[in-house]
Structure 1
Amino acid sequence: MHCISTFTLAPLSSTGPDGLPCSELVQHGKPTGLRLPGVSLDGQFTVHPGVLLLVKDDVPHDECLQLFLLSPRLAVLEEAELGAPYTPGLVRGLAPDAEGCDLLDFSFAGEELRLQVHGTPRRMRDGLLQRPLRRLLAPKYLAIFAKPRAARASTGQHA
């Protein structure tokens, strides 16, 4: 997993079906035609099956973090949403694994999380998260877990 700066979001004047703002994904300054919910691109990474994007809608105190896994042709392979009502959605400490594993450690809404991206979809349960994770029950590329305490201690973070 490697951090990139290939993409930006161009906010659209229309909203999604849920009334939240949407944007068009822009790659190297050129519109892609892909419409995504949200207006703030908080992280982008290359991973084995394609690209991982972390997008927020910038709704203070009711923020959701959308995770999009895109194929190299920018088709959405998987989408997941983290969030809870009345919670500020601050994404902090984005730390991709330097050892070639598709792991990303980060903090969202005060919870330390670890995201693993699998090269092929698998049937799996999500880790024990304090906050709900909303997505369809289907084979998944993305596995999201509460970050292990030992990993928190080794990075100097406290529970």
Structure 2
Amino acid sequence: MAKITMTVNGRQVSGQCDDRTLLVHFIRENLGLTGTHVGCDTSQCGACVVHMDGKSVKSCSTLAAQAAGSQITTIEGLAANGELHPVQAAFKANHGLQCGFCTPGMVMTAVDMIRRHGGQLDEATVRAELEGNICRCTGYHNIVKSILAAAAEMGGARVAAE
């Protein structure tokens, strides 16, 4: 057992865990933040995406010990002062979710995608960037639409004609 300390959603937290504990399990079981989902446990589906030091990581393939000392943001940490993050608001406004299981990972991936591309996204780029996230319900159309809408609000996207 090791004691791990990290900052999660702006709050310093500590907990005991085995060396082999995955970050997703540490977040869910030790911290009670269940918005980060366990989908496949093989890093294929993207339901577990969180930000570690500002970059997207799949928390089902990251050890909690690897995150020690890091800044972690989960889906619960995106909204501020009761206001949805622009990506969360865009998913709501554009019906970018259906069952909602993949949504936290999709949103976290989208926030990082928009940050990395400076908001300069088109449909082809968004679809390529979502390759590591699986949605079994929506057919992706409204997810892509949501990300492009958020990118436009956050930094100016080139939206291709539909």
Q: Identify which of structures 1 and 2 has the higher relative contact order when contacts are C-alpha pairs closer than 8 Å and 6+ apart.
A: 2
Higher helix share: 2
